[in-house]
Every structure is written in structure tokens, then in C-alpha cells.
Structure 1
Amino acid sequence: MMEEKPLWPGEQAVRAAASPQPGVTRVAAIQRRGRWQVCARCGARWCTSQYVLPLGGTYCPECLGLGRVTSRDQLWRAAPPQFPQRSAAGLCAWQGTLTADQQRAAGAIQQAHAGGQPILVWAVTGAGKTEMTFPAVAAVLAAGGLVAYASPRIDVCNELFPRVRAAFPTTPCALRHGREEQAYGGEPLVVCTTHQLLRFYHAFSLIIVDEVDAFPMHNSRLLHAAVAQALLPGRAPVYLTATPDDQLRQAIRRRSLTVTYLPRRFHGAPLPVPRLHWCRAKTLTGGFQPLRDLIRRHRQARRPVMLFVPTVPLLTQLTAWLRQAFPGERVAGVNADDPDRLVKVQAFRDGQTSLLVTTTILERGVTIHHLQVVVWAADHHHFQANALVQVAGRAGRAAADPRGAVDFFYHRYTLAIAQARRDIIQMNRRGGFS
């Protein structure tokens, strides 16, 4: 039988053996409370007559993706970590300068963290949210604490990891998600998907949840519970997003969630306002001619173009049409189930691909310089207002080229299109733009 690896401080794991390592506590992985079975790893509960195993006992259906938990298992929990204290000076190697708005938000984050209060940083896309968290992260690392940057999206984690590692070069940093096979090795700084937080218990002094409203965290009891359980008692999360959902907005109105606003991008330019293009219905389902002149202009200016579509069949159609219409361009298409997604996105980022067709899987966490954005069939029900705001926010993010173009093609002028455009205009006004 293969020997199980020991747990690092703050980790929790399912074990069947009876004697834990020193400093590790154990609890029943599934506990019965009246007519309910409750999973100690994720907090899910179900009726005792559900999810019964053939040989007796039960299992948790909600956190099955991290490995099966049964009523015959134990959950081992290692004691919280305590790293050596260090001087905060020199911990952060980021050479940039925070704007006045960013400094205000950074101070609000530190104040909320010190008081054990949750805080939402409601900032426009491209505001430099990650950089605003660096002072709080440096303070926690200096005090010997464990820090996590967590996001519901793998692509966001992959975007964050090199930036965080470069900002804190003397601090070991781990990347954890379902497509990253490297095991956790006790690093004080972790970038991970929110699902991976279920592998920790009372471990982190600070958890920063980037794109908190993104699928699958939106309305997910499981993932919000994962954040709460992974934090040390008395600590609260920092949430980052440009498009808070109704649950977060209600918490702000109830004053159970502190909020700080950033209505301007770090480079001071306004958000690109989407241009609207009406099309016949049959044009949206296969006649892509309205795109020809627009893409030609973008490519003559040597600008990469990201084209968002609502469905995989339409992605396949549009990718094939682009290859035929622009034989001299390098075209790729990606969706959530594409095994080569990460490679294709990196090729686009490196300039090896000039036209990238994608579903909403890339609505967040991707920064490409000089990018131009097109949304095809923007009236499809898959494009909710929040998604359209995030998609539009991919353009104009670089200080050297802050005025990227965003174009929506549609047949029906939907409430989502109107709301997304209105939200962008209102945020620009809040930032001082007419």
C-alpha cells in the first residue's frame, strides 16, 4: 500500500487510516445530524436515505470532484501554519506607483482586514485591482501568515500567478487548480481556484477572491463555504470584481459588506463604450459578412481581435469562416472543453495568433495589449449584462494604448445589451468622464 503524504500546516485531507500524524486532528468526514448527513469538508447536507453506497454508508455528492468522501472516511486537519516573521520592507518587488484612488482602496483593504471585516473592491475592469492588494499581502506575509489569491476561473489563476510571483519573488508561491498537477508544498503564498480552498481548514490569514461573481462561484453555497472554512477564525475575505452580483449588492445595502469603489482605470482613460450594429437574424446564424470590413481595419492597424460568441456550434462556424475570409491570418477557436485552451490563449497573448474566437470562458482574467473586441450575437441569452461588461473590459487595458474598440452585433436590442452599455457609461461618469 502506497504511503500517504503528510499534511502541510493548514491542509485537510480525506484519510481511511486510524492514526494521524502528530499535530493533526481528525473528524468523521460525514456526520449525522438528525435526519441529515453533513459533509465536514464542504458543509453540504442531504437526507440520510440519499446517496447510499452499495455496501452501506453514504457519500457527499457536492465535493465529489476533489475525490470521494464517504461516511467510512476521516478528515484529517493539520494545525494552522505560522511562518517566520520577516521585515515587510523589500518583500514586494513591484516597481509601479499606485494612483490616489488605488492608494485609497489599498488602505481600505488593510483596514477591513485588521478589523476582521469582509470588503468588496468594486472596480472597473483594468483598474489594477491586483496591485492594490499588495500592501495587505506584504503585511500578512511579514507577520508569518498564509495568503491565497483565489478565483472561480482557471484562466484568471493562470493570469494572476506570474504577476503575484513576480511581485513577491522571495516568497515561495504555489499554483493550484484542476489542470495543475503539482501538489501543495507548504508555500506561504497560494494562487488557486476556489474549489481548491476545500483542501484547507483554518489556514489563511488573508484570502483575496478575484472575480467573485464569476461562474461557478455565482450563487454557489459550496464555494462561499470553502472560502469561510479556509480562513483563520476572526478573518474575512477580500472580494474583487467589476460586476458584483445581486447577493453582493444586497450585502452592501444591509451593511454586512464594506465596499470601496474605483471608477477609473489605472491609466486614467475611460472604459470603451460598445458600438452597436443591428443585423438580420439569419446573418447572425451564419452570414458573417458584416465582420469583414471591421476585422480588415483592425488587422491593417496590426491589432489582435478577440471575437466572443454564445455557443460552441457558432464558434466552429465563425472560426471556419474567418480562416476562409482571411487566409493570411492565424485564427484559433477556444471553449471550456478544449484540451488545448491554455496553449491557444498563450499563443494569442504571444502574438502567434491574430484572431481568437471564444465563448464567455475568456470574459475575465485575460489581458492582451492592443486588443479589439467583437461580440457576435450579443442578444443571445448566454450574454447577460455582467458578461457583456466583462467582455467589453478586455479592450483598452494598456496604458500605451488605452482606447480599444468594442463592437456588439445583434438582431434584438435586449435588456442585457442596454444595461451593459448603461453600466459602462455610468461608471465612466463616476470616474469624471462626460
Structure 2
Amino acid sequence: MRAYVYTVRVGDKWVCRLSLDCHVDLRFWYGKKDGKAAGIEGRNGGEDAGLGENRAYEGRVEEVWMTVSSIPLSLAVYVTEQWETGPLESKRLIRLLQEAEPQVMEWISQGDLQIKQVTREDVCRSAQGLQEVTWLGVSDWSVGSRSWNGSGNENGNGNGNGNEGMIMEGVWNGDLWDDIGWGSLKRVALRLAVGIQGRSLLAHELQDYLASHGMEDAVLYWRTLAQLAYVQGLVELRSGLAVREAPRRFPLLRRQRELCCLRCGSRVGSHRRTACATCGSPGCAYCEACLAMGRSRACALLLHGTAAAARLAAHSAAGTAAAGCARAAGRAHATEPGARWRLSEAQHDASRAALHFLQQPCAAAGNTPAARGGAGVPSFLLWAVTGAGKTEMIFPLIAHALEREQHVLIATPRRDVVLELAPRLAQAFPDSRLATLYGGSSDRWMSAEITLSTTHQLMRFYHMFDLVIIDELDAFPYHNNDQLQYAAKKACKPDGRFIFLSATPPDRMQRDVRRGRLPHAKVPVRFHRHPLPVPQRLTLKPLRLYLERKALPVPLIKALTTSITRGAQVFIFITRIKQVDPLVDLLRRHFPNLPIEGTSSEDTERAEKVIRFRQRVSRMLVTTTILERGVTIPKSDVFILDADSALFDAASLVQMAGRAGRSLEDPAGNVMFCASSWNRAQQHAVRQITSMNRIARRQGYLNTTSQRREGK
């Protein structure tokens, strides 16, 4: 995509803008401000009270300097970001283009970068009947330009909005200067801006939004609508890939510039270049890191819906404030953790600490990089053991945000967890709209107070949420994934808050907790108030040796027999997918009358096998780490083979051990670390589990029976 660049004198200062449809910009800056026809102006003499950037200057500009030809979008974006002051002029323009793309002059000629002043008289002459914008000596200004039918009157399409049926036809015919037509167009642009508020969309996603909201005709002139919303400050126009300063590796060196994907945040190493017929560049870059979400190119338009559109809609909508107060009153006392949500003592204390964090001003919530999520957003860690009931603990936090008419996001790395949490959230908050987002979800464009999403879907949001809750932050693919962490931070408002949930926080977060740099609350006990099962050590050789010999060791057979005899369901975790079937065959030879199954990430029947295991149709399940979290099976024992493998870190070991002892009927369970050596990961996992038990005992969270047993 290509765009024009222009500068305009607004009052006593110059601003630089880009344009997808320059007719819209010229009509906005030079035309008559039409408050009554538009129907969306402020109530104080036509002023907009700061609801949209530049809106108070509509029709009040006397000087515009614009490029004669369009340039690639990424270059246009860079120029608008770097332009300092003064009218547009060629030498400074070329210097900025070479900063962004050193070889740009090899494929863009000097003639393409000519700049001319557009006066009010020029625009008026064009509006009086010229079919082409020949007053600048060019006729290629049809990029994104359309006009609507005849007189500019509204043509309803039967859905009650009256303006979505406008058909853009021809090129420039002067109807843009008709007050009624201009007001109609502004209403459609406002509706678009309000609809995509808080979202980050590529052009094809914007067209999909228009088509799915009864504005199929508007798809034909989406550039015009986007440009009108942009020039009013209701949306931001960016390129998919933009030039940004690279992180400084050495303090004394000058910062270098590099391409960065504005959707996923990836930088050097994730981009490829190809010749592009759309922008004319012989090496237009695109991002490979988020290619599955649609191609983000340097010349691809990326729209950011800003909060200004929502404020403008609320400002002009009668009764909005009263309706908001009524909804807030209906949710009164929703944040009483113990009473409404029936939380245990430990859960109540943690939720109360998190609520106290949310109630603090941003300045008091924490100013260190750790406490601010690394991106200026205050953060809080709920460190709860496996099976502690993290979902119930966030209910008071969600209610607190809903009372204040805020938007809440709950993000989790896995789709199956999203589907599991959705009915629980719907039951807990029946009066609030809930959107469930994952690949192929039907709620993609739903406007909701609570959004439950996989972390990949966060790439399509921009400053949308006041409260962002990240569940299982240590799990794949969120853990150590810079792109997903960038997307989560981008989805949160600048004055929003982060709540992180984890049973096994990353080492960096644990260090920040110990140093007092990260506000947190620990939940060291499960709902049944029994201590966590502490893993025991069983010395065995590597599993591959037993599979080669086709015989299992006697100590392992005895331990498995003990678990089966006591009626437990047995998890057997291993490291390799290729070892699942051979181990299942060996176990069936040793336990011929016992139903045994195996599963992995490559198993299409994984869900059915887990159901059979939960229903005790099968008694033993061999699995990889695909089931290390999110699965609760009553009365379970856990065996981890090759526990000293480099593929098992301390977090994985704690999560797998957490499958045991989760039910009230069998709160103890048995966990066995089966390995030939006792490495640091196993030691750290055991220390973490015993530490949580010690904290629970010290704080009085364990019941009396458990206290006596621990004392022995």
C-alpha cells in the first residue's frame, strides 16, 4: 500500500500526517465544519472537548504542503513520526526516507518526491466540478478515493442506521463538499472507529469487520472511512513493519534503526524481503514470526483503534452515564471475597491482597521494572500451588473491575483451558457480556466486558483492557515467548494493571519476589487444607535401556503395584513421544488384566483417553508433558521416569507432581521421581513443594489432622 504525506499548519504549529485518500484530508482541513449535519459534535458551541485530536481545527487551516505522488506506507509512517516542524520540503523528506531505507533512492526517483502547496482556492476550484484533481498537475490521486451516490443523501439498508447503504462510485465529483453527504460519511467513520476501538487490525481484518457488521457497501470505500477517522484522531494508521530504534547494546554507541513488527514486536531475524507490486519496493519486508495470523508487511496497513472514539461516542450518547451507574449499582458489594465467592481462608487472603493492589494509584502500585511488567504497567503475582483454585481467586478482581465499568481480559496459553473456563465465568458473572476468543471463534468481533482468550489472539488488540490476567504465565507457548509477551502488554491500557497467575513462576519473577521488587501473594495450600505430596526418590536407569531389554525394573513394578492395589489412578510421565507405545506394551505384559493407555501431543484421541482415565475405564496412563497441567483426576499417583532429563525443569516437575493429592478423598497421593541421578531440577522442585507446606503450616492454613501428621 502507498500513501501521501503532507504537513498542515494548525494554529501556530505544524503537524505531519499521511493520507490514504487525500480528498478527505483536504475537505476536513479546508471545508466548513458541519456540527449539525454530522450529529456527533460536542454540545459546547461545536467544540469537541478534546475527544478527538484535531477535531477543533476542522475547517480552520490556511496552509497545506503535500507530496505530489504517493510513497510506500512504511516510509510515509516514518516521515510522519520523525518530522519536526515547518512545511514539507523535498530535501528533508529525502533525508528521512534514506534514514528509514538507505537504498530508497535506487527505486524512487526525485520526481516522485515533488511537493506542492495546496491552497484553499485550489481545493474550491476542484470542488466546483473538476472530475480529476488536475490542479496539482497529477491525476493519480484516485488511491483510496471514491465518492458516494448523487446528492449525498442517506440510503438506508433496513437496519436502522441509515448510512451503511451508501455506495461509493466514480472518482472525485464534488459531493464530498455537500454538508449532508459529509455528515453521513462522518457518522459511518465514527461507527467504524468505535467498533474497532482497542483493536489492532490489518486492512483485510478491517474489511472483515465491516462485512460482518452489516456494512458490506462500506468495504468498497474503507480507505476513505479509515482516513476520515484518522484525520479526526479517532484511529491510528501504522504499517505492519515499522522502523524503530534497536536496543542499545553498548551505552556509548549510537542507536541503530531496525525494522520491528508492530503486531508481534519481533525484530531482526524474523523478517524476510520480497519484491512487492503493491508498494513498488524491490525488497518489501514481512514478518515470519506472526505469519499464521495473516501477513504483516512493511506496506500493510495496521489500524489501531484509540480510546478517543469511545469517549466521543459516550460524550454524545444520551443516558450513557446513567446506564453505567445503574449497572455499577447492580454489582454492589461484588468484591467481598469471602462472602460471595466462598473462598477458603488462604484464597481470601490472597484475593484481598490483590484487591488492595488494584485499589492503589498507579504511582503507589510499584515503579520498578519487575513491578511494572517490564513495560510501564503495574503488575501483581498470585503465586498459588497447583490445585489451589486460582480461578475462584480472580473472581473478586474481575468484579472489582466490572464495578468501575472497566474491560477485563483473562488470557491463557491453551485453547482447552479457555473452553473449560468459559462456562465457569459465565455462571459467575451472568449479567456481563463474555467473549471467548481462540482460532476460529465466533466471538471474534464481539464487544464484551470480559474477554477470555488464548494468548495468540492478543495480537489483535491495542490498549483495550484495564485489567489483564495472565494464567499459567510459565507455560508454553507464553513462557520465554517475546512476541506473546509484547502482545499482552500492547493489549493493556497504559494505566491498566497486570495480574499474573502461576504455581511455578519463572526464576526471574521468583528473584524479584525475594528482593521485594514484585508485589505478590502466596497461596501455599489447596482447598482441602492438606499439605502437598512431597516427591520421593526411586533410583532407576534411563528408560531407553529398559525398553531395549524389553523388561521393566523390579522396584518400579513394586511401586506401581502398590498404587494399583490402593485403588489409585496412575500417571506415568516420560520425555519422548516415541517411547509411549513401547512402554505401554511393556506395562501391559506386566499388568495383563489392567487397562493401560498412552497419549501424547500427536494423539488424535487424547481427549477421549483422558475422559476414560477420569472415569476409571483405564487405570494407568502413559503420557508426555502434554498433561502436566490443567488435568484433575481424583485419587491419583504420579510416576516421572527419567526425572533427571534436561527436558524436565523444576517447573515441569512441580506441575507433574501437582497431579497427585488434589481430591478431598485422597489428599496425600504419591509422587515418585524415577532417575539415575538427583539433579538440581529435582532438588529445586522438592524445595519449592516443602517450602509451600512450611508456609501453610506456619500461617495456620493446614487442618489439625494435617498439622499432626506433618509434625510426625
- TM class by shorter chain equals 0.7 to 0.9
Secondary structure class of the residue paired with 2:468: strand
Distance 1:398 1:27, change over 3 A: same
Distance 1:180 1:301, change over 3 A: farther
Deviation per CA, 1:58-88: give whole Å up to 9, x if none. 1112222322211121112334579954422
Distance 1:295 1:173, change over 3 A: farther
**Which residue in the other structure is 1:26 paired with?**
237
> Structure 2: which amino acid aligns with 1:57?
C
Find the aligned partners of 1:284 and 1:427 in 2 and give their Cα distance: 37
What is the CA distance between 1:267 and its match in structure 2? 1.4
TM-score normalised per structure 1:
0.88
Deviation per CA, 1:295-339: give whole Å up to 9, x if none. 344344443222111111122222233344445444332323334
Secondary structure class of the residue paired with 1:149: strand
Query: Does 1:97 find its partner at 2:342?
Result: yes
Contact 1:202–1:233 at 8 Å: present in 2 too?
A: yes
Query: Does 1:12 find its partner at 2:200?
Result: yes
Match of 1:427 among 683, 692, 695: 692
Distance 1:258 1:95, change over 3 A: closer
What is the CA distance between 1:237 and its match in structure 2? 0.8
Q: Report which of the two has the higher share of helix.
A: 2
**Which residue in the other structure is 2:266 paired with?**
44
Find the aligned partners of 2:680 and 2:438 in 1 and give their Cα distance: 35
What is the CA distance between 1:362 and its match in structure 2? 1.8
Greater CA deviation, 82-91 or 274-283? 82-91
Query: Does 1:61 find its partner at 2:288?
Result: yes
**Which residue in the other structure is 1:106 paired with?**
351
Contact 1:159–1:366 at 8 Å: present in 2 too?
A: no
Secondary structure class of the residue paired with 1:190: strand
**Which residue in the other structure is 1:395 paired with?**
660
Find the aligned partners of 1:146 and 1:364 in 2 and give their Cα distance: 28
Contact 2:551–2:586 at 8 Å: present in 1 too?
A: no
Percentage of pairs with the same residue: 35
Distance 1:299 1:224, change over 3 A: same
**Which residue in the other structure is 2:452 paired with?**
191
Distance 1:289 1:178, change over 3 A: farther
Deviation per CA, 1:173-199: give whole Å up to 9, x if none. 333334757635223222222222112
Find the aligned partners of 2:587 and 2:388 in 1 and give their Cα distance: 32
**Which residue in the other structure is 2:551 paired with?**
287
Aligned residues: 428
Find the aligned partners of 1:165 and 1:351 in 2 and give their Cα distance: 30
- Structure whose alpha-carbon radius of gyration is higher: 2
Superposition pairs of residues 127-276 of structure 1, within 5 angstroms: 127-178=388-439, 183-253=444-514, 255-276=516-537
Distance 1:47 1:151, change over 3 A: closer
Contact 1:227–1:237 at 8 Å: present in 2 too?
A: no
**Which residue in the other structure is 2:331 paired with?**
88
Find the aligned partners of 2:657 and 2:342 in 1 and give their Cα distance: 26
Distance 1:138 1:346, change over 3 A: farther
> Structure 2: which amino acid aligns with 1:317?
P
Contact 1:32–1:38 at 8 Å: present in 2 too?
A: yes
**Which residue in the other structure is 2:669 paired with?**
404
Contact 1:10–1:77 at 8 Å: present in 2 too?
A: yes
Greater CA deviation, 333-342 or 269-278? 333-342
Give unpaired runs (5+ residues) of structure 2. Answer: 1-191, 205-221, 245-255, 277-282, 315-322, 363-377, 698-709
What is the CA distance between 1:347 and its match in structure 2? 4.0
Secondary structure class of the residue paired with 1:429: helix
Deviation per CA, 1:347-395: give whole Å up to 9, x if none. 4344444322211122122222222211112121111111111111111
> Structure 2: which amino acid aligns with 1:240?
L
Secondary structure class of the residue paired with 2:496: coil
Secondary structure class of the residue paired with 2:351: helix
Greater CA deviation, 213-222 or 285-294? 285-294
Find the aligned partners of 1:96 and 1:401 in 2 and give their Cα distance: 25
Find the aligned partners of 1:59 and 1:74 in 2 and give their Cα distance: 12
Find the aligned partners of 1:217 and 1:59 in 2 and give their Cα distance: 23
Find the aligned partners of 1:350 and 1:252 in 2 and give their Cα distance: 40
Find the aligned partners of 2:590 and 2:416 in 1 and give their Cα distance: 29
Match of 1:74 among 272, 291, 301: 301
Contact 2:466–2:495 at 8 Å: present in 1 too?
A: no
Find the aligned partners of 2:468 and 2:658 in 1 and give their Cα distance: 24
> Structure 2: which amino acid aligns with 1:393?
G
Query: Does 1:118 find its partner at 2:379?
Result: yes
Distance 1:69 1:389, change over 3 A: same
What is the CA distance between 1:136 and its match in structure 2? 1.0
**Which residue in the other structure is 1:379 paired with?**
644
Distance 1:96 1:107, change over 3 A: closer
**Which residue in the other structure is 2:635 paired with?**
370
Greater CA deviation, 187-196 or 267-276? 187-196
Greater CA deviation, 185-194 or 321-330? 321-330
Secondary structure class of the residue paired with 1:272: coil
Distance 1:349 1:196, change over 3 A: farther
Greater CA deviation, 73-82 or 392-401? 73-82
Find the aligned partners of 2:481 and 2:611 in 1 and give their Cα distance: 29
Deviation per CA, 1:121-158: give whole Å up to 9, x if none. 11222222221111111121233222222122344434
Distance 1:215 1:296, change over 3 A: same
Contact 1:370–1:398 at 8 Å: present in 2 too?
A: yes
Give unpaired runs (5+ residues) of structure 1. Answer: 1-5
Greater CA deviation, 64-73 or 381-390? 64-73
> Structure 1: which amino acid aligns with 2:354?
I
> Structure 2: which amino acid aligns with 1:38?
C
TM-score normalised per structure 2:
0.55
> Structure 2: which amino acid aligns with 1:74?
L
Find the aligned partners of 1:170 and 1:325 in 2 and give their Cα distance: 55
What is the CA distance between 1:20 and its match in structure 2? 4.8
What is the CA distance between 1:105 and its match in structure 2? 0.9
> Structure 2: which amino acid aligns with 1:288?
L
Contact 1:120–1:260 at 8 Å: present in 2 too?
A: yes
Deviation per CA, 1:2-49: give whole Å up to 9, x if none. xxxx7554222211563456654432221123631121112222389x
Find the aligned partners of 2:432 and 2:533 in 1 and give their Cα distance: 37
> Structure 1: which amino acid aligns with 2:624?
T
Distance 1:418 1:255, change over 3 A: closer
Distance 1:402 1:272, change over 3 A: same
**Which residue in the other structure is 1:3 paired with?**
none
Find the aligned partners of 1:148 and 1:294 in 2 and give their Cα distance: 44
Find the aligned partners of 1:346 and 1:206 in 2 and give their Cα distance: 34
**Which residue in the other structure is 2:318 paired with?**
none
Q: RMSD of aligned C-alpha atoms?
A: 3.0
